Amino acid sequence: MVLYFWYMTHLNIEIKAKCSDPFSVRKYLKENKAEFKGTDLQTDTYFNVLTGRLKLREGNIENNLIFYERKDQTEAKESNFQLVTVPDASGLKEVLSKSLGVKIVVAKRREIYFLKNVKFHIDEVEGLGTFAEIEASNLYGDISKEELQSQCDFYMNELGIKKEDLIAISYSDMLMTNRG
């Protein structure tokens, strides 16, 4: 059997923030009729690569190989990414682990919501705590970078996310920093 993978580079404008009140985030999303995709128990395995980040996401909802490049900054970040749906995550994980080496593994419980092209996460990350993420993406249509930024800013304000709660780095970087 031959498997064909199709991918394109897409643009996200995203934020990650500490979340001391996930109940209010959940309430806002429900009141605004966000589509709840479910709760995903995810394991993200990051591999050693020369540039960007490469991770294999294994979950009961999302199973993807994701390559992305993003600057570490607290304000909304531009992220260029490529996403490939993976039918055999365990087989791919074995090959990538042997060929590239595992950098770190991140385990989390993720609630996934959508309001049109904007994806929201409420994450409980093992060893780190609770976070909220907003990802305004052109994955689902032709949307300008400026409009994506505006959407991200709008929802930050709506959810009461303060600048001091914003996180500049990925969960993987946070866990590696905690390891020392």
**Which CATH architecture group holds 12-179?**
Beta Barrel (2.40)
pLDDT tens digits along 70-107: 877 777 777 778 889 998 999 999 999 999 999 999 99
Q: What is the pLDDT of residue 3?
A: 46
Position 136, amino acid: A
Q: What is the pLDDT of residue 8?
A: 54
Q: What is the pLDDT of residue 9?
A: 62
Percent over 70 (pLDDT), the chain: 93
Percent over 90 (pLDDT), the chain: 74
Q: What is the pLDDT of residue 72?
A: 79
pLDDT tens digits along 39-60: 999 999 999 999 999 999 999 9
